[in-house]
Amino acid sequence: MTTALASHTTPEVRSLLDDTLLHELSHGLLGPYHVLFPERFDANAAAFREALAEAGVEGRVYYAKKANKAAVYTERAAVAGLGVDVASRGELREALAAGVRGEDLVVTGPAKTQDLLRVAVLQSALIAVDALDELDRVLELAGHLGRTARVLLRRLPPEQPHSRFGLDEGELESALRRCVGAPVHMEGFSFHLSGYDVRQRTDLAAELIALCRQARALGLRADRISIGGGFAVDYVGADDWRRFEESRRPEHFHAGKSFGGFYPYHSPVAGADALRTILAATPTGSAEGTSLAGLLRAAGVALLVEPGRALLDQAGFSVFRVQGVKERDGYAVLTVDGSSLSLSEQWFDSEFLPDPVLVPGGARPVADAGPYPACVGAATCLESDMLTWRKIPFPVRPAVGDLLVYLNTAGYQMDSNESPFHELPLPPKVVVEPAGSRFRWRLDRHPH
Ligand SMILES: *Cc1c(COP(=O)(O)O)cnc(C)c1O
C-alpha cells in the first residue's frame, strides 16, 4: 500500500478547503484554476527581512519572479519595498508595471539580450554579469548611453564546476581589470547554487566577501554580495517523508512508473530559517571562528538574497475537478479537467508528490473503510500526461464532481509550463483574501 504524503497547510488554506467557494469557482470558471494568497507572500517576505535584521546584517530581499507569472506577488513586492529578480524583457516589463522601481531590480540570467541590457542600464537596475563578453557589452552600452551601469559579477560555484553560469577565477580577475576606469559601478559579486545546501552557501558567501576586498583594493566599490535563491520549502512532515522513501516501490505508481529522483519534499530547515542558518554558520576555514553574519558586518558588505519558491510557500494552490473515474486492478484512474502542464514537476522526469486533497462534490456515505488508492490523469490524449502517477490513498472514494486540490503549488508548479494544449484554456488565477469571516476573490491582473 502507498503511504500518505499529507501536505502542510495553513489556517486560511484549511478554512478555504471547507468553504463552498471552491466548488462555486470551479463551476463559474468552467475548468481548473489556481488560487493565490497575497497575504502569505507578505508574511514570507517579512520573515526573510526579520532573519536579516536579527543577524544585524544589512541586506535586501529580491523576489525571483520566474517562480510564478502572476501579477499580484510582484505588486506586493513593490508595495513592501522588496526588490525583484528578473531575467527577461517580459519579466522586467511586468515588474516595472507592478510599480517596482528600476533601481530595485536585479537582472540575472545568461547572455542577456541587448534590449534587456539597454533597459536595465537606463533604469539603473543592478545587472548580474554572467560572462566576459556580456560585461564588454554592458560597458560599451553604458558608454554609448552616457550612463553608469550597476553590475555584480556572478561567480561560477567552485563546488559545481560544471555549472554553465558564472565566471571562474581567471575570468573574474580579468573582469575586475576591465571594470577599473569603466563607466560602471562594480557593486559586488553574486552566485546562485542549485540544490538547497546551506553549508555551501555560507562558504561561497565568505569567498565573495574576500573577493570584495580584492576589488576594493583596485578602487572598486564592491559593497554587496548576492547569494541567489534556493531556500528550501518544506511540503510534508518528516515521518510521512521517511515512510515514503523507505517503502517506495514501482507498484505504488500507475504503470509501474519509476523516476530519476524527487525534490526533497521534507526539509527540516526551510525558508527564512535556512537564511538564519546560513548567516549563523561559521564558514569553513574562517580563522577566528566568526559567523558569516559577523564577516559581513566587519567587511561592511550587504547581503542580497533572491528567493523565489520560498517566498511563495503556501501562497497558492491549484484546483481541478474530477470528470471521470475508471476502476483498475486494485485502484482507480481519475481523469481531471486539466493537464499536467499545470503541475510542472511532472515535466522533469519527476513528480509533485504531496497528496492532493479531495473536496467531495456532495455528501456521500463513507461505505467501507478506505483508503481508496487512485492515480490522476489529464483530460488529454497523451498516455504520459499524468498529474499524479502515484496511487494516492484517498480517505473517501473519489467521484465525478469532486475537486482535487494540489496544495502549495505557487512556487514553480502552477504555471511554468502551461500552454493551451488541446485548445484547453489556460487555468485562470484567482486572488483570494479574507474579508471578515468570509473570503473575497478577484482575477489576477496578469494577461496570459
Ligand atoms: C531561479 C533563481 C533564483 C530563485 O531560486 P529559488 O530556488 O526559487 O529560490 C534566484 N536567483 C537566480 C539567479 C535564479 O536563477
Evaluate: CB of 231 within 6 angstroms of ligand 1: yes
Reply yes or no on whether the pLDDT at 1 is more than 80: no
Q: Tell me, in angstroms, the distance from the centre of ligand 1 to residue 308's CA.
A: 6
Q: What is the DSSP string of 388-420?
A: EEEEEEESS---TT-EEEE-S-TTTTTTSS---
| Reported confidence tier of residue 366, pLDDT bands at 50, 70, 90 | low
Evaluate: CB of 66 within 6 angstroms of ligand 1: yes
Which mutation among 126, 306, 409 tests ligand 1's pocket best, with the greatest number of atoms within 8 A of CB?
Answer: 306
Q: Tell me, in angstroms, the distance from the centre of ligand 1 to residue 256's CA.
A: 33
| For residues 224-230, average pLDDT | 98
Evaluate: CB of 64 within 6 angstroms of ligand 1: yes
Q: Tell me, in angstroms, the distance from the centre of ligand 1 to residue 108's CA.
A: 9
Q: Tell me, in angstroms, the distance from the centre of ligand 1 to residue 227's CA.
A: 10
Which of 19, 36, 10 lies closest to 403, judged by CA?
19
Reply yes or no on whether the pLDDT at 104 is more than 70: yes
Query: In angstroms, rounded to a whole number, what is the distance separating the alpha carbons of residues 387 and 413?
Result: 11
Reply yes or no on whether the pLDDT at 117 is more than 90: yes
Known active-site residue 381: yes
Alpha helices in 218-326 (DSSP H): 238-247, 271-280, 292-299
Evaluate: CB of 281 within 6 angstroms of ligand 1: no
3-state helix, strand, coil in the chain (%, to 5): 35, 20, 40
Secondary structure of residue 272 in the 3-state scheme: helix
Evaluate: CB of 83 within 6 angstroms of ligand 1: no
The secondary element (H helix, E strand) that includes residue 179 is: helix 169-179
Domains of the chain: 11-37+315-443 (2.40.37.10), 38-232+269-312 (3.20.20.10)
* Per-residue confidence (pLDDT) for residue 2, from 0 to 100: 82
The residue written with cell numbers 533601481 in the block is: 103
- Percent of the chain predicted with pLDDT > 90: 95
* Per-residue confidence (pLDDT) for residue 292, from 0 to 100: 98
| Reported confidence tier of residue 38, pLDDT bands at 50, 70, 90 | very high
| Reported confidence tier of residue 367, pLDDT bands at 50, 70, 90 | low
Of residues 370 and 4, more confidently modeled: 4
| Reported confidence tier of residue 368, pLDDT bands at 50, 70, 90 | low
| Reported confidence tier of residue 415, pLDDT bands at 50, 70, 90 | very high
| Reported confidence tier of residue 27, pLDDT bands at 50, 70, 90 | very high
Task: Report the predicted TM-score, pTM, of the whole model to 2 decimal places.
Answer: 0.97
Q: What does the DSSP 8-state code read for residue 218?
A: T
Each residue's pLDDT tens digit, 309-354: 999 999 999 999 999 999 999 999 999 999 999 999 999 999 999 9
* Per-residue confidence (pLDDT) for residue 285, from 0 to 100: 83
Mean pLDDT of the chain: 96
| For residues 230-254, average pLDDT | 96
- Of 64-68, 90-94, 288-292, the poorest mean pLDDT is in 288-292
* Per-residue confidence (pLDDT) for residue 448, from 0 to 100: 65
Evaluate: CB of 108 within 6 angstroms of ligand 1: yes
Reply yes or no on whether the pLDDT at 369 is more than 90: no
* Per-residue confidence (pLDDT) for residue 437, from 0 to 100: 86
Catalytic residue among 179, 212, 375, 381: 381
* Per-residue confidence (pLDDT) for residue 362, from 0 to 100: 80
Query: In angstroms, rounded to a whole number, what is the distance separating the alpha carbons of residues 189 and 10?
Result: 37
Q: Whose CA is nearest to atom 2 of ligand 1?
A: 229
| For residues 386-398, average pLDDT | 96
The residue written with cell numbers 517580459 in the block is: 90
β strands within 312-447, DSSP E: 316-328, 331-336, 357-359, 372-377, 386-394, 403-406, 429-435, 438-443
Reply yes or no on whether the pLDDT at 372 is more than 70: yes
Q: Whose CA is nearest to atom 5 of ligand 1?
A: 229
Each residue's pLDDT tens digit, 283-303: 998 877 899 999 999 999 999
